[in-house]
Homo-oligomer: A and B are copies of this chain.
């Protein structure tokens, strides 16, 4: 029997998780919620996914717009084994008491604080911590991206110290509000929260981060300077990443020079929604100088956490004990591959 999953919030992340779950053989979506009768609500219905109002007070707006909902979040919670909270940042914490009352497990996203769940999750670094857990947080797109490439490097070469400058996209493609149109805005509070967020999963890592917001909609770019404990050459680094799932190389020499060209590649590869769930590393943008490794990576903010959510469900619901087996199963189902 498949694990029954509900999704609270059918937006950028929620709709992708629903799509991903539909590709799995050990779990299924039994309903999603929306707060307003937006086009995404209509989309859920069109896709045949039962639609619930997040709160009873939202039902009226749906009915006025001719949309019949299957009930409210409370109703949905009574039908699921686990709820994936994909609400906006810090809203998950508001819903948590409802999840607790309903006695269901819950996954939160990276917009929530670590304390909401007590366990922060990455498929590669700490799959076992989520085993059978009641509440788990899948870390944010940027944190997931940092861990995907740093964790294997740390394992093989040891990391003395990491400095990362995060050049963030200002808003998602369809967002109407976001960054200033023609400005770069630094995150002045230093060090930024990204370092400590990585440490919720790799507490031993010495990492400092700075960040700026730029007026783009396609991917975050990270500039990393990593002091290594053991000697390594450029090709040693590439060789380690080459063996790890969910890291994909591109090459400026072949014409993939910018975040936009990476997304074009995703479209050309006919990836669903034009997403890249892998972390993208420029193979000609990796350089070890003395004992410091410098590299650039690109993070698709809308989708890189999707496979992590699937694996997290498996761990929490005890569907698969071996992390690499879950990772490979997820990746195969979603068309992720080198």
Q: Mark A292-336, 1 if CB is under 8 A from B, else 0.
A: 101010100000000000000000000000000000000000000
A212-B167 CB under 8 A given contacts A43-B268, A181-B181? yes
The residue from B40, B182, B223, B274 contacting A181, defined by CB atoms under 8 A apart: B182
Q: Is A177 an interface residue (CB 8 A)?
A: yes
- Tell me if B223 and A188 are in contact (CB < 8 A): no
Q: Are B191 and A294 in contact (CB under 8 A)?
A: yes
Q: Once the chains bind, are A254 and B42 in contact (CB under 8 Å)?
A: yes
The complex places the Cα of A254 from the Cα of B269 at a distance, in Å, of 30
Return chain B residues, CB-CB under 8 Å to A210: 165, 223, 225, 294, 296
A179 interface residue, CB < 8 Å from B? yes
Query: Which residues 136-177 of A sit at the B interface, judged by CB distance below 8 A?
Result: 163, 165, 167, 169-171, 173-177
Contacts of A190 in B (CB 8 A): 285-287, 289, 294
Instruction: Give the distance to chain B from A197, nearest Cβ to Cβ, in Å.
Output: 16
A225 x B208 contact (CB < 8 A): yes
Contact of A255 among B39, B184, B215 (CB under 8 A): B39
Q: In the complex, identify which listed stretch (A25-33, A94-102, A258-266) lies at the interface while the others stay far away.
A: A258-266
Is the C-beta of A78 less than 8 angstroms from some C-beta in chain B?
Answer: no
Q: Is A221 an interface residue when CB atoms closer than 8 A count as contact?
A: yes
What residues of B have a CB within 8 angstroms of the CB of A219 in the complex? Answer: 184
A333 to chain B, nearest CB (A): 16
> CB distance A184 to B221 under 8 Å?
yes
- Chain A 259-281 interface residues, beta-carbon cutoff 8 Å to B: 259-261, 263-265, 267-270, 272-274
Say whether A38 faces chain B, with CB atoms less than 8 Å apart: yes
A236-262 contact mask (Cβ, 8 Å, vs B): 1 or 0: 000000000000000110111111110
Cβ contact of A183, chosen from B170, B259, B282, cutoff 8 A: B259
Is the pair B264, A173 in contact by a Cβ cutoff of 8 Å?
Answer: yes
Contact at A252–B188, with CB atoms within 8 Å? yes
| A115 proximal to B (CB < 8 A) | no
Taking each of A171, A183, A260, which has the highest tally of chain B beta carbons within 10 Å of its own beta carbon? A183
8 nearest interchain CB pairs?
A: A183-B260, A165-B165, A190-B287, A174-B264, A185-B258, A183-B258, A188-B285, A210-B223
Chain A residues at the B interface, C-beta cutoff of 8 Å? 15, 37-40, 42-43, 163, 165, 167, 169-171, 173-186, 188, 190-191, 208, 210, 212, 214-219, 221, 223, 225, 251-252, 254-261, 263-265, 267-270, 272-274, 282, 284-287, 289, 292, 294, 296, 298
22 A-B pairs whose Cβ atoms sit less than 8 Å apart in the complex: A39-B254, A39-B261, A39-B265, A171-B180, A171-B181, A174-B180, A179-B181, A181-B181, A184-B214, A186-B258, A186-B296, A188-B257, A188-B285, A190-B286, A208-B225, A210-B296, A212-B223, A212-B296, A267-B273, A268-B273, A270-B272, A274-B274
Given contacts A39-B251, A186-B285, 10 further A-B contacts (CB under 8 A): A39-B255, A42-B254, A167-B184, A175-B181, A177-B180, A179-B181, A182-B260, A183-B258, A214-B214, A215-B216
